[in-house]
C-alpha cells in the first residue's frame, strides 16, 4: 500500500517523519525550516487549543493579542533574556523592495532602511511588559492575567516537523501580580493545568518538576516543566511555566502603588505550550500501523465503513449508518461515514488506521439482517461483533476505555524505563539505551554541564511528583554530597 510507514524498530526517526507526512498532519513548506499544517493535523491542534483555552479561562485568564514585531531596543533591556534568544532571532531591517536596476528581479531598497530594527517575535515578554506599563499604576489594577494564541519565529538550523521548526504555533500566558507569593502560586497553578491536560486529554503521563538553573527559561527565577517519555526513551519537554520575579518589571519600569501607598515593582509569570504537543502525540502513542489518537483529541472519533456489492445494498447500509451516526452525534461524538465508492473497504480500513481514528464500524447486508455491526478499536486492533441496538452507549463506553488504555500503556512503558542509578559507568551505558535515570546531583551547574558534555544527557527536572527523590547520597559524577535525586534523560 502506498501509505505504508517505516517500522519503529527499523528506524524510529523515519517512522516519526512518515507518520507526520502520510497521516496528513503536516508537510514541509517552500520556506526553509517552516511547515504547512494540513487540515487533519490542524483539526487536532484546534481541539488542543479549544480545551486548553477553556481550562485557562477557568483560572481567570483572558485572551489578548500583541504585535508580531518587537523593537530591538526592547529586546536588549533584559540582558539574560536577550542572551538566551539572540542566536535564534529573525530581524527586519528594511520595509520595501524595488526593481533591480540590473533587471534581475527585485532587491531591497536601501532607502527603506528602518530607523530601528524589529525582531520577529520569538517570545513576547518584552513587548507585553512595555504594554503593561501603560495598564498598571495601582494595586487595584492587579492581577493582570493575559494569554495570547499566536505564531513565533525562532531561526532553527536543524528542523523537524512539529518538534522544531523556524515558525510554530503556541500560546503564551503573561501575568502580573502584586506579590511574589501570588506570582509563584500562578506559575504552579498553570503547570498543573498543563499536567492535567497532558494526562487527561492527551493520555500522556508526565513528570512535573523544577528545571535546573542551566535549563531554565532565559530571564526566569524558576521554571516549572512537564516532562514526557517518548517510545524511544527520550524526553520531550511538553510545557513550561516560569516565575519571572521582577526582572521584566524592572527592565520596563512597571511599578504600582501598593495598599500602603508605596511604589513597588510588579511580579511576573509566563507559561506556554506549542505545536510540539503534536509531536508528543505521535511519538508517545503511535504504532507501526500509524497514529493512535486519544478519543479526546481525535478529530474523527468514529469512522463508519459500508460493505456492499450492489447499489441497492449500498443504499440500505448507508441509510442505517446515517441513523447510527445521528445517535452517536447526539451523545457528542464526532463521526464520519466513509461513503467513497472509488476505493475498496480494505484501503479505507488501512487509511483510517494510519490516521489513528479510535473506533471503526463496518456494516454490510448481513449485518443489516442480523442487527449487528463489526467494531474495531484502534488502540488494540481488536474486532468484535455487537448489536446495532444500543450501539451509541456501547461506543461511548468504548471510547472512554480506549482513552484510559492509551494512558495506561504509556505509563507502563515509562515506569519500565525509569530506574535509579548510582554508578557513573552504568549511567553512561544506560542513558544511551533510552531511559530516565534517577540520580543524585550535587546542585552545581558545573557538574550538570560536564555530564551533558560527556553523554548529551540533561537534568529533565527536579521532580515535584511521580517519584520521591528527597534522600541523602553522593553525586553520580562528582562524588560530592547530594540531598536529592533528579531525572536525567536525553531530550528532543
Per-residue pLDDT at 104 = 78
Per-residue pLDDT at 157 = 77
Residues 368 and 476 in one domain: no
Per-residue pLDDT at 2 = 45
In a domain, 113, yes or no: yes
In a domain, 381, yes or no: yes
Cα dist. 335→131, 259, 364, 401, 475 in Å?
45, 56, 18, 18, 54
Q: Calculate the average pLDDT of the chain.
A: 95
- The count of structural domains within the chain is 3
How sure is the predictor about 450, in pLDDT bands with cuts at 50, 70 and 90?
very high
Q: Which domain holds residue 483?
A: 419-489
Kindly report the CATH number assigned to the domain that includes residue 437: 3.30.110.30
Residues 63 and 211 in one domain: yes
Reported as a single tens digit per residue, the pLDDT across 138-189 is 999 999 999 999 999 999 878 899 999 999 999 999 999 999 999 999 999 9
Reported as a single tens digit per residue, the pLDDT across 97-132 is 988 888 778 999 999 999 999 999 999 999 999 999
**pTM (two decimals):** 0.95
In a domain, 221, yes or no: yes
Q: What percent of the chain has pLDDT over 90?
A: 92
In a domain, 10, yes or no: no
Per-residue pLDDT at 1 = 42
Residue 452: all three cell numbers together: 551533558
In a domain, 323, yes or no: yes
Reported as a single tens digit per residue, the pLDDT across 270-302 is 999 999 999 999 999 999 999 999 999 999 999
Residues 267 and 391 in one domain: no
In a domain, 9, yes or no: no
Residues 278 and 318 in one domain: no
Per-residue pLDDT at 3 = 57
In a domain, 190, yes or no: yes
In a domain, 19, yes or no: no
Residue 453: all three cell numbers together: 558534555
* Dihedral-angle region of residue 178 (phi above 0 means left; psi in -120 to 50 means alpha; beta otherwise): alpha
Residues 43 and 181 in one domain: yes
The domain boundary, picked from 231, 258, 285, lies at: 285
Amino acid at each position: 500500500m502506498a501509505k505504508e510507514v517505516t517500522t519503529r524498530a527499523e528506524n524510529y526517526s523515519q517512522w516519526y517523519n512518515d507518520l507526520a507526512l502520510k497521516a496528513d498532519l503536516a508537510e514541509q513548506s517552500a520556506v526553509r525550516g517552516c511547515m504547512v499544517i494540513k487540515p487533519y493535523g490542524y483539526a487536532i491542534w484546534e481541539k488542543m487549543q479549544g480545551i486548553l483555552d477553556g481550562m485557562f479561562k477557568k483560572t481567570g485568564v483572558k485572551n489578548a493579542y500583541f504585535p508580531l514585531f518587537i523593537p530591538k531596543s526592547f529586546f536588549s533591556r533584559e540582558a539574560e533574556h536577550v542572551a538566551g534568544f539572540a542566536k535564534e532571532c529573525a530581524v527586519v531591517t528594511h520595509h520595501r523592495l524595488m526593481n533591480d536596476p540590473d533587471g534581475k528581479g527585485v532587491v531591497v531598497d536601501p532607502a527603506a532602511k528602518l530607523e530601528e530594527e524589529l525582531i520577529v517575535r520569538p517570545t513576547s515578554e518584552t513587548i507585553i511588559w512595555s504594554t503593561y506599563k501603560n495598564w498598571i499604576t495601582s494595586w487595584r489594577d492587579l492581577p493582570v492575567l493575559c494569554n495570547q494564541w499566536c505564531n513565533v519565529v525562532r531561526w532553527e538550523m536543524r528542523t523537524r516537523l512539529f518538534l522544531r521548526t523556524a515558525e510554530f504555533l503556541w500560546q503564551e500566558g503573561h501575568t502580573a501580580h502584586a506579590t511574589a507569593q501570588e506570582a509563584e502560586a500562578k506559575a504552579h497553578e498553570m503547570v498543573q493545568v498543563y499536567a492535567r491536560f497532558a494526562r487527561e486529554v492527551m493520555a500522556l503521563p508526565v513528570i512535573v518538576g523544577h528545571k535546573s538553573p542551566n535549563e531554565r527559561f532565559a530571564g526566569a527565577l524558576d521554571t516549572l516543566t512537564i516532562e514526557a517519555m517518548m517510545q524511544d526513551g527520550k524526553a520531550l519537554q511538553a510545557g513550561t511555566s516560569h516565575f519571572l520575579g521582577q526582572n521584566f518589571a524592572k527592565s520596563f519600569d512597571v511599578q504600582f502603588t501598593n495598599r500602603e501607598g508605596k511604589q513597588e515593582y510588579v511580579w511576573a509569570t509566563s507559561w506556554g505550550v506549542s505545536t510540539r504537543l503534536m509531536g508528543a502525540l505521535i511519538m508517545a502513542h503511535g504504532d507501526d500501523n500509524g497514529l493512535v489518537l486519544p478519543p479526546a483529541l481525535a478529530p474523527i472519533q468514529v469512522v463508519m465503513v459500508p460493505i456492499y456489492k450492489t447499489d441497492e445494498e449500498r443504499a440500505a447500509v448507508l441509510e442505517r449508518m446515517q441513523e447510527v451516526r445521528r445517535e452517536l452525534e447526539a451523545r457528542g461524538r464526532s463521526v464520519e461515514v466513509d461513503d467513497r465508492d472509488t476505493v475498496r473497504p480494505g484501503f479505507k480500513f488501512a487509511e483510517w488506521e494510519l490516521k489513528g481514528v479510535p473506533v471503526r464500524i463496518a456494516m454490510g447486508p448481513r449485518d443489516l439482517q442480523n442487527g449487528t455491526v463489526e467494531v474495531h478499536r484502534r488502540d488494540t486492533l481488536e474486532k468484535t461483533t455487537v448489536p446495532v441496538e444500543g450501539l451509541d452507549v456501547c461506543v461511548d463506553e468504548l471510547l472512554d476505555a480506549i482513552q484510559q488504555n492509551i494512558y495506561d500503556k504509556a505509563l507502563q512503558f515509562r515506569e519500565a524505563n525509569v530506574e535509579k542509578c548510582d554508578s557513573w559507568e552504568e549511567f553512561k551505558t544506560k542513558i544511551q539505551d533510552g531511559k530516565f535515570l534517577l540520580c543524585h546531583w550535587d546542585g552545581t551547574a558545573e557538574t550538570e554541564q560536564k555530564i551533558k558534555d560527556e553523554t548529551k544527557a540533561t537534568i529533565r527536572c527536579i521532580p515535584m511528583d511521580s517519584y520521591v527523590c528527597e534522600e541523602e547520597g553522593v553525586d553520580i559524577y562528582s562524588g560530592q554530597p547530594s540531598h536529592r535525586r533528579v531525572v536525567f534523560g536525553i531530550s528532543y
